[in-house]
Every structure is written in C-alpha cells, then in structure tokens.
A = this chain, B = another copy of it.
C-alpha cells in the first residue's frame, strides 16, 4: 500500500519540488548568517528532511527516509548548494517562496499523517506524526542556528493550518478504510487538504490574522 500523494509521477514531482524549495529556504538562513557551504548543505538537508527523520524515529521505521532515500537526500543537498548561488533571487521572491513553503508544509502534513496511519497507528498518533513531518524540519534548523523556531515565533498561522491538515487527513484515511472513499476520492481530498493548508497560511500572512496569546490579566485571584 502506498501514500495517495506519492502514487504517481506528478505527485512525486510535487514532493521533490517541495523538498527542493524547503531546502532553499533552509539554506537561505545559513547564507544570511554568513556560514559556509557545508553549513548551507546541512541546514538545507535538515529543513527539508528533518521532520520526516523525526517521524521515522518515532515510528521505528529505520533508517529514516531522510537519510536512506538517495533521491530525497541528493535533492536536499543540491538545494543547499544552489542557494549559495541563487540566494538573492530566493530572498526576493518572498511571496512565491512563502507559497511553496506552505505547499511543502501541507504536503508533508498529509503524507506524514498518511504514512503513520498506513503503519497502523491511532489517529491521534498519526496526526502528531504529520505535524512532526511538516514542522520538525524548520524546528530542528532553528534550534541548530540558535533561533527560536519559526513555528513558535511566527505570529501568523503556521502550525494551525498544518494541524487542521493532519486532522482532516486522519478523517480521510478513516473514510478510506471503511470503504466510504475510494482511491480517486482519497487523492482528490488529500490534494484539497494541501490547498487548504496553503490558503489558510497565505490568508493569515496577507490579512495579518493571528492566534490569541495569553489572556492579559493584572489581578491575581488566590485564596
């Protein structure tokens, strides 16, 4: 059995594109901090594939895809080399990169969740695994570069769309299992979830929609 959004050449192409672009975004962080080529390749690789590595460690599916899959690894490392040259363009194309980053978050969320469920985890565990896949790479990158992770720092919706995407994917997988949804339906619905994640993310940045913080309170009620 395979994950719906890896079932044909088009979706695999989208996945490679997502890996390459998150690698570019990751490598860009190293460029901005004036690190060397090797650091760019490491941050590109971790950003693109670190989330999947965390997921595979948690699911005991070892060695992780992000280490053992030649195609994925080479794509990620090459993106780290590429950004050393094309960093001004990557930096300039803010909205395009934001869109592609959101696409990769959405795609990794759906695929990560699906893979976990195919391995027989519960829905809640699978949703966590989807979140790890989608957000783990950026998180590890920022911990490595000694920044507070973007998923914590960024006031705009970043984790929330991916959480919604993971939960919807769990529902789609459950529908597929009981025969309510056929394979074509799964592909269509999974694609729709990815689009939803992208749209939610972009709307949040465009219209500055943010999650509330803690309730502001100045009195303390204690016995």
Q: Contact residues of A with B, CB < 8 Å? A: 30-31, 33-40, 42-43, 53, 57-60, 62-64, 67-68, 70, 73, 83-85, 87-89, 92-93, 121-122, 124-125, 128-129, 139, 143-149, 151-153, 155, 159-160, 163, 210-215, 217-222
Contact = CB atoms under 8 A, between A and B. Distances in A.
Contact of A73 (B33, B40, B124): B124
Given A58-B57, A125-B68, A36 B212 contact: yes
26 contacts: A34-B213, A35-B153, A37-B213, A43-B152, A58-B64, A60-B60, A63-B121, A63-B125, A63-B129, A70-B124, A84-B212, A84-B214, A84-B215, A87-B215, A88-B217, A88-B218, A89-B221, A92-B220, A92-B222, A93-B222, A139-B144, A143-B144, A143-B146, A144-B148, A144-B149, A145-B152
B89 A215 contact: no
A88 B220 contact: yes
A211 B159 contact: no
> How many chain copies does the complex carry?
3
Contacts of A89: 220-222
A121 B67 CA distance: 11
A160 B38 contact: yes
Contacts of A70: 124
Nearest to A58: B63
Contacts of A63: 58-59, 121, 125, 129
B62 A214 contact: no
Contacts of A34: 213-214
Residue among A67, A85, A147, A159 with most chain B CB within 10 A: A67
B215 A38 contact: no
A145 to B, nearest CB: 6
